[in-house]
Amino acid sequence: MAQSAAPAPSTPAIPEVAPLSLKEIAPWAAFVGILMLVLLYFVGAEQGATSLIAGEDVHEWVHDGRHLLGFPCH
């Protein structure tokens, strides 16, 4: 390989990238993916149409972010 006579620029600019094993991704997607969706629920929807926690504190705290990120707020 090092003795190759071809000049460096002739090697392909974009080498093929090996994919990651789906089996390795699956558990991360299941646990962390769902955790992230729960976070998004609390930022985007909690104490709006549905409430897991009583009151209005979560809604009021993230109120401006909810509006600006496009979630229906009230």
Partner 1 sequence: MNLVNPVSVRALLVRGMLAGLITGALALVTAYLLGEPHVDAAIAFEEAHSHDHGDGGVELVSRTMQATGGLATGILVYGVALGGIAALAFCVALGRIGRFGPRATAALVALGAFVAVFLVPFLKYPANPPAVGDPDTLDQRTALFFLMIALSVLLAVGAVILGRRLAPRLGNWHATVAAGAALVVAIGLAYAFLPAGGNVPEGFPATLLWEFRLASLAVELVLWTGFGLVFGELAERLLTPKEAPAGHKADPAAVTPAA
Binding residues for partner 1 (CB under 8 A): 8, 14-22, 24-25, 28-29, 32-33, 35-37, 39-40, 42-45, 48-50, 55-57, 60-74
Min CB(20)–partner 1 separation in Å: 5
Q: Name residue, tokens 């549905």.
A: 50
- Contact predicate 44/69, CB 8 Å: yes
Min CB(56)–partner 1 separation in Å: 6
Min CB(6)–partner 1 separation in Å: 13
* Nearest to 68, CA basis, from 36, 44, 37, 39: 44
Bridge partners of 46? 50
